[in-house]
């Protein structure tokens, strides 16, 4: 019966593919930023209500949770998609480009949402054959810490859930490929905020100053020694400074410099170590130059750690789909608050390749020209749906 269900499900996805793409384009043209989502969750809730699903709105903030109960009792599978956009001005020139300046779906969340809605529609058509329950988690605010996942969990979105699956459309990976791994898949993502307070003065007379730019430069260069000399070389870790700001004329030595950066780790002990080592280095550098500082280390999402049995389940699902290739990938240094779901229930998060093979240039996620091959939506939908049907079997 499961094979027949999967064949029916795949046929339904093929039938609904144009609708899925149209939904993606609607969300793409009407992006809403993290914690500012209003119309998107309304559209999601209305779609599920039209299918007859039980719907909860405002879950943990702007989240939506819809539930489909099969005609027979069984396990409960949760499927999650995020729906927030980024503060980026789009430069793709697409016919369905963002209609709002300074907002863009530059990470694929529009595709995630469209995919999950059509998965829900296809599974709904098989409701009389289902043994179990499916929970569709539509999450707000993935892009901005503390993120929507933890608030939705606290509001009960995982109550009664036995397993959770999710995917990320991944533009750098080839269409037709599914990438995942047991254990760590994506890094813990933290932020650092630093102010170095020196003493300003004229650029012609540096001896009367405490050059905050020079101090910041020495700190940034030495910062890389934390990873290269304090962290096990077999354990991935990244410290990057992405913002340096000193508001002064060209011939004035800056009184103050403001730095922002990110730290990415997989190991909890090394995460703690880096937090302390950054301040130790900052303290020593400023002390030598007789400057002062402020330091804030803000913990973001924990690492995404897949469960082995559920990862094997996804890989076995893909093996049964000859048109796809399932590959075990190296951990990625990007962050994802899907991590919180995996801390509460078993599950797997996987990447769905979304690179158009005819593109001469592929723009990365969070780029103004970011785009995906829309054929990836149906692939993601089929993997999620087949994995669900297999699990409920």
> Residue 235, SS3?
coil
User: Exposed (0-12), middle (13-18) or buried (19+): which is 242, by Cβ within 10 Å?
Assistant: exposed
Report how far residue 29's alpha carbon sits from residue 290's, in angstroms, rounded to the nearest whole number. Answer: 52
Report whether 386 belongs to an annotated binding site.
Answer: no
Residues 144, 113 contacting (CB under 8 angstroms): no
Going by C-alpha positions, the residue among 56, 131, 147, 163 that lies closest to residue 384 is 163
List the end-to-end C-alpha distance of the chain, in Å, as a whole number: 9
Report how far residue 229's alpha carbon sits from residue 370's, in angstroms, rounded to the nearest whole number. Answer: 36
Q: What is the 3-state secondary structure of 156-215? A: CCCCCCCEEEEEEEEEEEECCEEEECCEEEECEEEEEEEEEECECEECCCHHHCECHHHH
**Is there a catalytic annotation at residue 142?**
yes
DSSP state of 128: G
Residues 383, 350 contacting (CB under 8 angstroms): yes
Please tell me which residue in 32, 110, 129, 142 is annotated as part of the active site.
142
**Is there a catalytic annotation at residue 272?**
no
Report how far residue 17's alpha carbon sits from residue 29's, in angstroms, rounded to the nearest whole number. Answer: 18
Please tell me which residue in 32, 37, 82, 84 is annotated as part of the active site.
84
Q: CA quadruple 177, 178, 183, 185: dihedral positive or negative?
A: positive
Q: CA quadruple 134, 111, 376, 345: dihedral positive or negative?
A: negative
DSSP state of 360: S
Report whether 329 belongs to an annotated binding site.
Answer: no
Going by C-alpha positions, the residue among 349, 370, 241, 250 that lies closest to residue 304 is 349
Report whether 28 belongs to an annotated binding site.
Answer: no
Residues 179, 383 contacting (CB under 8 angstroms): no
Known binding residues: 107, 109, 143, 168, 366
Positions marked active-site: 84, 142
Known binding residues for Mn(2+): 107, 109, 143, 168, 366
């Amino acid at each position: 019966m499961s094979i027949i269900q999967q064949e029916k499900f795949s046929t339904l996805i093929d039938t609904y593919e144009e609708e899925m793409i149209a939904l993606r384009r609607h969300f793409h043209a009407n992006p809403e930023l993290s914690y500012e989502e209003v119309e998107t969750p309304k559209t999601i809730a209305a779609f599920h209500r039209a299918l007859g699903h039980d719907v909860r709105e405002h879950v943990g903030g702007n989240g939506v949770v819809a539930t489909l109960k099969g005609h027979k009792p069984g396990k409960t599978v949760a499927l999650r998609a995020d729906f927030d956009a980024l503060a980026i001005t789009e430069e793709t020139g697409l016919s369905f480009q963002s209609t709002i300046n300074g907002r863009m779906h530059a990470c694929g969340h529009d595709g995630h949402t469209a995919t999950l809605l059509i998965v829900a529609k296809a599974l709904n058509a098989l409701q009389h054959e289902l043994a179990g329950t499916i929970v569709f988690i539509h999450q707000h605010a993935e892009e901005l810490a503390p993120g929507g996942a933890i608030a939705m969990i606290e509001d009960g979105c995982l109550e009664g859930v036995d397993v959770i699956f999710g995917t990320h459309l991944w533009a750098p990976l080839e269409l037709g490929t599914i990438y995942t791994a047991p254990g760590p898949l994506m890094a813990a993502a933290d932020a650092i905020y630093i102010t170095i307070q020196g003493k300003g003065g004229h650029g012609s007379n540096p001896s009367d100053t405490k050059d905050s730019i020079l101090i910041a430069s020495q700190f940034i260069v030495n910062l890389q020694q934390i990873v290269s000399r304090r962290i096990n070389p077999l354990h991935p870790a990244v410290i990057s400074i992405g913002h340096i700001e000193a508001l002064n004329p060209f011939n004035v030595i800056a009184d103050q410099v403001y730095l922002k950066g990110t730290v990415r780790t997989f190991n909890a002990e090394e995460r703690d170590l880096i937090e302390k080592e950054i301040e130790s280095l900052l303290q020593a550098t400023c002390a030598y130059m007789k400057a002062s500082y402020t330091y804030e280390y803000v913990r973001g999402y924990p690492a995404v750690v897949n469960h082995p049995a559920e990862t094997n389940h996804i890989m076995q699902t893909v093996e049964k789909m000859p048109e796809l290739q399932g590959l075990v990938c190296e951990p990625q240094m990007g962050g994802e608050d899907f991590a919180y779901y995996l801390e509460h229930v078993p599950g797997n998060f996987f990447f769905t390749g979304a690179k158009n093979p005819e593109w001469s240039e592929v723009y990365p996620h969070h780029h103004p020209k970011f785009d995906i091959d829309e054929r990836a939506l149906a692939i993601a939908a089929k993997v999620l749906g087949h994995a669900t049907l297999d699990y409920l079997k």
